Structure 1
Amino acid sequence: MDTEHRLALPKGTVINQYRIESVLGYGGFGIVYKAQHMRLGNWLAIKEYLPQELATRESGTVHPLGTREQVDFQTGLDRFLAEAKQLVQFENHPNIVNCQDFIEENGTAYLVMSFEDGLPLSDLIRGREKNQQSFSEDELRRIITPLLKGLGVVHKQHVLHRDIKPGNIFIRRSDEQPVLIDFGAAKQNFTEHSKSMAPYSPGYAAIEQVESDGNLGPWTDIYAIGGVMWRIIASQNPPQVENRMSAVTRNRPDPMTSALELGKGKYSENLLKAIDKCLCLNEEDRFQSVEDVLGFLDGNEQAAASAPPPQAKPEKAAASTVSKPAGQQSSAGKYAIAAVLLIILAGGGYYGFTVYQQNEELRLQAEAERQRAEELAAEAAAEAAAALEVAEQAEAERLEQERLQAEAEQAEQERLEQERLEQQQQNQQRQQQQQEQLSQAIADLGQMISIPSGFFDMGDLSGTGDSDELPVHTVFIDNFELMEHEVTFAQWDSCVQAGICAQLNDQGTGRRELRPVTNANWNQVQTYIDWLNGQTGAGYRLPTEAEWEYAARAGSTAQYHWGNTHQCALAKMNNCGEAGTAEVMNYPANDWGLFDMHGNAWEWVQDCARNNYNGAPDDGSAWTGESGCSRILRGGGWNSSEHQGRISFRNWMPATQASSSSGFRLAR
């Protein structure tokens, strides 16, 4: 982590009985130092409450930036002290950083903690990935199980950590045990749903943390634990919860692939199910306590509801033999009888004729039998004709049924084809409408002002600035273009509608289409620029720090482009007027036609943070550094002081952090 901080206490400073040695790290609301007990000689970590958006340090004393910030600063300080008093009461647990003391001094407060000698889990993960080595399930469980047990102790005291991530988990060198550190984001009494002012870490924060009235509880930290496990098995940072929620509400796939899919065949189903349940978007669908998680990992999964036993299929009944009523014989039988009778008739008739000469009675009997045989033959022929007619009628009905079925299928196919064509037409119209909206949004981008090339002196020209504005040095700037105003919410929302950028929370500063977009971190700005260049091919980028100061001065050597005294009528800063930003181009432009170069919204530039200008480029290029460095912001915001709104004033934040007044403008 970048350990330079312009407001940090210098090495050798004594706080109570502790001597400051160095900066271990910092965030938006505090600085963590490595310090030594002056009498005992042991090393400790000390966290100082210093929210850089609310307060500054002058002559060693911390004080709010103004009367508007006084209430928020004092509220945060009271909560920090209340939290410190509770943390020092925690039982000594091997997986929780030991908080030993708290101090009120220099207008602020300090929390004294044990110094853990080891390696952040984030560094261990990166080292494994660099060597193409993964974590086994046994290794992962040896990290997560002790961590959950320690977190259970925290939750029993009605305290939430709220910033669990690999960077806040230390692997102790002596016994390789995980230690949960940095309770700067923790809050008491989570059942009251109070919200900490500390920023959360994207990817590890649950949806209730980014909502204004989210329902926070143990399930919130459990989401972060799931994020840590997902990070380890996926070898990538977990997606931000805002992007997950946006995708789900738009009926798009969740960008967070399930652990069951990612780790199949490498990790047990029990572990992967536990990770997925920890990461449910809705808090009621997650584990409700760390005890639930531990129980699940130990194999005490809830049994699946028993499905009803499948019903046996009924056996086919044997074909029934239907007996016809007496006197009603089948056609085949009648044909047989007729044939027999005809044969008998043929022989009997000849015999009867011969006998007739001798006996008339026998002749008459033979005639009767012949007539009967003819009648039976006629009946059989009639029944055969009727059976044939029935068969022909049945065949005709079958053919008619097939014809009707074919017509119905054809009609259904035509209906489906019509629906497909209509849907295709609607989709084309929708795509055309979206493209027109996108084209209009791109067309509405502010005018790009041509900035001429030239030399200028960069830094504190008046001698009233800070040490990081020195030394003053001459820089040559080649000609480039800079947008006349800061990027607005209307322009940003085009990227949101395209499903690329995240919906930003303006934190109550007044979200309007023509106001500058705020609460955007440096990485999110890069995502927007990449999308915009993909749509336009125009080669947009952030200005370098030297380009920004050159354009802001517009040839002036004063503290502001109009002179050395701030006026509320000329710039939106120093809490002039109502809280929040103003619409862009609402204040006079500088001599080169650029609006709001002072105040309204801080503007990200391309450069990495440095404590001074020693070794700075003299050709106007960006002064970059390691990936993940803190990035520079210039120009001040609506809530910045007159001192911070000067042309030469420099500010910086981590690239993953944003504020209610951080924005940007485009260059090319």
Structure 2
Amino acid sequence: MSYCLNPACPNPQNPSDTKFCLTCGTKLLLKDRYRAIKPIGQGGFGRTFLAVDEDKPSKPRCVIKQFYPQAQGTSTVKKAVELFNQEAMRLDELGKHSQIPELLAYFTQDDRQYLVQEFIDGQNLAQELVQVGAFSEAHIRQLLSDLLSVLQFVHSQQVIHRDIKPENIIRRSRDRKLVLVDFGASKVATANALNQTGTSIGSPEYVAPEQARGRASFASDIYSLGVTCIHLLTQRSPFDLYDINEDAWIWRQYLTSKVSDSLGKILDKMLETAPSRRYQSAEAVLKDLNSPSAQVVTVISQTPATPAKPPVKSSPVTPPVANTPANLSKSQIDVELEALKAEIMGGGTSKNENQKSASSQPPSPNPTKSKNHGERQVDLELEELKSQFLGSPTPKKPPQS
């Protein structure tokens, strides 16, 4: 199927082999290459479409972003144009990272601006949350480990994302890696820009207090990532997780499973209202996350292991073969039976079982006689076992006294 990109087209769906819209006549291939298939999103500044690259034999999927601002007013539209242009610039710079979509094209057609970027096949974390439920501590630790390295790269390029939230984090299907998308709100963090109050941009539930006042910094992205984590842990809106009256986060009250103190302290520091008390860099968060004291310790039972019994030695001149009567010599059987006797008479029973047996049985009037009698019984039973292998007559048991 081909989808017409003319916003005014009343019937935008067309057959896949069509070059011009059958309803409005708009050209369906962008740059004679990219064909939109269906819309997948719409925001304040534009629309997003799933598309295919017709110029390649495999016809790989890609994403078309069309600049189509919904807001009115000259200053607002001017700002929207600026943001759309800077998204293309950010993707061109950052898309070389394996966890950021690559920019494929940026152009104007029919007086509309477009950018084409790599398609990331997978679910975003908002969709995943609905499907699998609240995240566990292990999942949050993995998320932080994965995304903080991406933020580290983004910030090293002097870029602030400014819109980190579950919807903008996609778990890529082919390798389960997390991909950070939508750099439409990103900002270059020059020294001059950081000292000036800019436009308040970002999703209200996740935006840092200083960013809401137009003073975003690298720490603002860390705050938004922290809010994303507590939302995924609780399945509650971030607005519900903050007590305005107490001016404090109360996210622990909504946890469905316990979180370790070490992870809790890391999240609390990411969520500090005052930027000066918050982590200042992704590296600092990673350092605490990976420190030995912050690792989740699995408690293993300290029950001492039972020592293994020594293996029964085989004849040094006889190679190991199947233990059948045809293969066992008389001397070999004698050696193995003597070893078995020694094991039985030497206390094969555990210490606890011996104590239990001793406490439950009356003491023998003649321990030596009892021991000799027991040894004779073992000898007779071993002789019976030996006769089964060698075919010798079974010795008769003495009459019971």
- TM-score normalised to structure 2 length: 0.61
String of CA shifts for 1:574-613, please: whole Å, max 9, x gaps. Answer: xxxxxxxxxxxxxxxxxxxxxxxxxxxxxxxxxxxxxxxx
Of 44, 47, 52, which residue of structure 2 is paired with 1:36? Answer: 52
Alpha-carbon distance in structure 2 between the residues aligned to 1:70 and 1:198: 18
Contact 2:38 2:51 survives alignment (8 Å)? yes
- Structure 1 stretch 78-87 or stretch 220-229: which is displaced more? 78-87
Corresponding position: 1:180 with 2:195: no
Alpha-carbon distance in structure 2 between the residues aligned to 1:185 and 1:91: 16
How far did residue 8 of structure 1 move? Answer: 7.5
Alignment CA distance shift 1:278-1:144 (3 Å): same
Alignment CA distance shift 1:188-1:110 (3 Å): farther
Aligned to 1:94: 98
How far did residue 38 of structure 1 move? Answer: 1.8
Contact 1:28 1:51 survives alignment (8 Å)? yes
String of CA shifts for 1:99-118, please: whole Å, max 9, x gaps. Answer: 23211233342222111111
Alignment CA distance shift 1:265-1:44 (3 Å): closer
Aligned to 1:228: 228
Corresponding position: 1:20 with 2:20: no
How far did residue 20 of structure 1 move? Answer: 1.2
Alignment CA distance shift 1:240-1:108 (3 Å): farther
String of CA shifts for 1:50-75, please: whole Å, max 9, x gaps. Answer: 22113xxxxxxxxxxxxxx3454234
Alignment CA distance shift 1:84-1:265 (3 Å): closer
- Give SS of 1:112's match: strand
Aligned to 2:219: 219
Alignment CA distance shift 1:264-1:25 (3 Å): closer
Contact 1:203 1:240 survives alignment (8 Å)? no
Amino acid at match of 1:210: A
Alignment CA distance shift 1:141-1:218 (3 Å): same
String of CA shifts for 1:541-591, please: whole Å, max 9, x gaps. Answer: xxxxxxxxxxxxxxxxxxxxxxxxxxxxxxxxxxxxxxxxxxxxxxxxxxx
5 Å matches for 1:264-343? 266-299=258-291
Of 177, 200, 203, which residue of structure 1 is paired with 2:202? Answer: 200
Calculate percent identity across the aligned residue pairs.
Answer: 30
Contact 1:162 1:200 survives alignment (8 Å)? yes
Corresponding position: 1:52 with 2:70: yes
Corresponding position: 1:257 with 2:275: no
Alpha-carbon distance in structure 1 between the residues aligned to 2:287 and 2:8: 44
- Give SS of 1:239's match: helix
Aligned to 1:209: 211
Alpha-carbon distance in structure 1 between the residues aligned to 2:101 and 2:52: 17
How far did residue 225 of structure 1 move? Answer: 0.3
Contact 2:160 2:187 survives alignment (8 Å)? yes
How far did residue 78 of structure 1 move? Answer: 3.6
How far did residue 91 of structure 1 move? Answer: 5.3
String of CA shifts for 1:25-44, please: whole Å, max 9, x gaps. Answer: 11111211111112111111
5 Å matches for 1:548-587? none
Corresponding position: 1:128 with 2:132: yes
How far did residue 281 of structure 1 move? Answer: 1.1
String of CA shifts for 1:383-434, please: whole Å, max 9, x gaps. Answer: xxxxxxxxxxxxxxxxxxxxxxxxxxxxxxxxxxxxxxxxxxxxxxxxxxxx
Alpha-carbon distance in structure 2 between the residues aligned to 1:152 and 1:196: 23
Aligned to 1:166: 166
Of 101, 108, 117, which residue of structure 2 is paired with 1:104? Answer: 108
Aligned to 1:517: none
Alpha-carbon distance in structure 1 between the residues aligned to 2:35 and 2:78: 26
Amino acid at match of 1:278: M
String of CA shifts for 1:132-156, please: whole Å, max 9, x gaps. Answer: xx43322222222111111211111
Contact 1:226 1:275 survives alignment (8 Å)? yes
Alpha-carbon distance in structure 1 between the residues aligned to 2:184 and 2:83: 10
Alignment CA distance shift 1:300-1:44 (3 Å): same
- Give SS of 2:70's match: coil
- Give SS of 1:22's match: strand
- Give SS of 2:249's match: coil
How far did residue 292 of structure 1 move? Answer: 1.0
Contact 2:87 2:185 survives alignment (8 Å)? no
How far did residue 216 of structure 1 move? Answer: 1.0
How far did residue 94 of structure 1 move? Answer: 2.7
Alignment CA distance shift 1:102-1:18 (3 Å): same
How far did residue 300 of structure 1 move? Answer: 7.5
Aligned to 2:81: 77
Alpha-carbon distance in structure 2 between the residues aligned to 1:153 and 1:11: 40
Alignment CA distance shift 1:105-1:183 (3 Å): same
5 Å matches for 1:513-524? none
How far did residue 178 of structure 1 move? Answer: 1.0
Larger radius of gyration: 1
Amino acid at match of 1:238: P
Contact 2:233 2:256 survives alignment (8 Å)? no
Alpha-carbon distance in structure 2 between the residues aligned to 1:185 and 1:299: 33
- Give SS of 2:93's match: coil
Contact 1:28 1:199 survives alignment (8 Å)? no
Contact 1:160 1:190 survives alignment (8 Å)? no
How far did residue 202 of structure 1 move? Answer: 2.3
Alpha-carbon distance in structure 2 between the residues aligned to 1:271 and 1:111: 39
Amino acid at match of 1:254: D
String of CA shifts for 1:607-650, please: whole Å, max 9, x gaps. Answer: xxxxxxxxxxxxxxxxxxxxxxxxxxxxxxxxxxxxxxxxxxxx
Alpha-carbon distance in structure 2 between the residues aligned to 1:75 and 1:202: 19
Corresponding position: 1:119 with 2:131: no
Unpaired segments ≥5 residues, structure 2: 15-27, 295-401
- TM-score normalised to structure 1 length: 0.38
Alpha-carbon distance in structure 2 between the residues aligned to 1:111 and 1:197: 23
Alpha-carbon distance in structure 1 between the residues aligned to 2:240 and 2:115: 30
